[in-house]
């Protein structure tokens, strides 16, 4: 079964409010009212909606979406509930990793259900905690090669992004529809577009389960 974990993009999709990002613009250059086809011009931030971060996003000279190791954005994954995820401050992932050590395998992509997906489309979605600066070290120690979650960003105001992306651990942000996957293992796919100078990319994120 294929589970779609992706926010639908439109001109109404809220951009990242803390930085005042512009909304998406979608314009038909031609459409069926005047032509035999439809083709559109799309203008949007590279980190709008469900998206991945390339190392370049926070690491000067880091790999772009064209250069990043695609095996970090797809592969075996597990979803766990981050029941202790706060709405402010910092989030230390170590207790969650310890609680779920029987589920998490070396080489996994770790997907966190925080409950934030219930706030998608509202300003409250952008009132979030930062992952703690030790997140990269903690993930690397467990052999985790990617992390994804239903909150809007890994951090905004500390070095968590640098510490994770500097280790080339893939980051997928703003996932949805995670609750049914909690406690399950699956194959995860969230491949970025191949932008030459890409610091991030929208993705169609999916989980493939055996049921």
pLDDT at 115: 97
Q: Bin 44: left if φ > 0, else alpha if -120 < ψ < 50, else beta.
A: beta
Q: Is 82 within 8 Å of 96 (Cβ atoms)?
A: yes
pLDDT at 211: 83
Q: What pLDDT, in 10s, does the model give residues 26-56? A: 999 999 999 999 999 999 999 999 999 999 9
In whole numbers, what is the pLDDT of the chain averaged over residues? 97
What residue spans define the domains of the chain?
2-9+46-208
Closest CA to 91 of 133, 50, 127, 149: 133
CATH of 2-9+46-208, one of 3.50.30.50, 3.40.50.300, 3.30.70.980, 3.30.930.10: 3.50.30.50
pLDDT at 78: 98
Q: What pLDDT, in 10s, does the model give residues 173-185? A: 999 999 999 999 9
Q: What pLDDT, in 10s, does the model give residues 142-154? A: 999 999 999 999 9
pLDDT at 137: 98
Helix, strand, or coil here: 57? helix
**Which residues on neighbouring strands pair with residue 185, listed in sequence order?**
78
With a CB cutoff of 8 Å and minimum separation 6, the contacts of 53 are: 47, 154, 161, 165, 170, 171, 173, 199, 200
Question: Rounded distance, CA 174 to CA 141, Å?
Answer: 25
User: How large is the C-alpha radius of gyration of the chain?
Assistant: 17
């Amino acid at each position: 079964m294929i589970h779609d974990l992706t926010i639908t993009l439109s001109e109404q999709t809220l951009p990242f409010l803390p930085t005042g990002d512009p909304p998406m613009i979608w314009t038909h250059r031609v459409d069926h009212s005047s032509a035999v086809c439809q083709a559109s011009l799309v203008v949007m931030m590279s980190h709008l909606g469900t998206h991945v971060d390339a190392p370049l996003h926070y690491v000067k000279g880091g790999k772009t979406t064209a250069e990043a190791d695609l095996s970090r954005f797809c592969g075996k994954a597990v979803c766990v509930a981050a029941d202790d995820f706060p709405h402010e401050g910092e989030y230390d992932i170590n207790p969650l990793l310890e609680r779920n050590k029987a589920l998490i395998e070396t080489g996994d992509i770790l997907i966190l259900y925080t409950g934030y997906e219930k706030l998608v489309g509202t300003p409250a979605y952008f009132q979030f905690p930062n992952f703690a600066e030790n997140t990269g070290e903690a993930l690397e120690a467990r052999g985790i090669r990617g992390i994804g979650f239903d909150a809007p960003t890994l951090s905004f105001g500390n070095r968590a992004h640098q510490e994770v992306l500097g280790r080339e651990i893939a980051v997928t942000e703003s996932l949805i529809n995670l609750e049914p996957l909690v406690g399950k293992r699956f194959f995860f796919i969230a491949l970025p577009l191949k932008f030459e100078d890409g610091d991030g990319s929208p993705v169609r994120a999916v989980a493939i389960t055996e049921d």
